[in-house]
Amino acid sequence: MDSTELLSYILSAICVIVGVLILWGDEDYIVPASGRSLRLPCSFLFWVLAAVFWAMAVVIDDEEENL
């Protein structure tokens, strides 16, 4: 396992955990101008980042197997 692959898996796990903590946490992230909460968009952003990091790790793993 390459270090970049391991780093991508770790970053993916961290992004999933942060997304879960934001979605089900106690803090409410309200935009003062509109009064809307940013809880769902922020957690969705971290879950998308987790998917990107996971895809990067899988591609790095596939490239190693093809050598």
pLDDT in tens, 1-28: 678 888 999 999 999 999 999 999 887 7
Q: How many domains does the chain have?
A: 1
pLDDT at residue 63 in the model: 61
pLDDT at residue 67 in the model: 56
- Average pLDDT of the chain is 85
| Better-predicted residue by pLDDT, 50 or 63 | 50
18: number of CA atoms within 13 Å, CB side?
15
Residues 6 or more apart from 65 whose CB is under 8 A from it? none
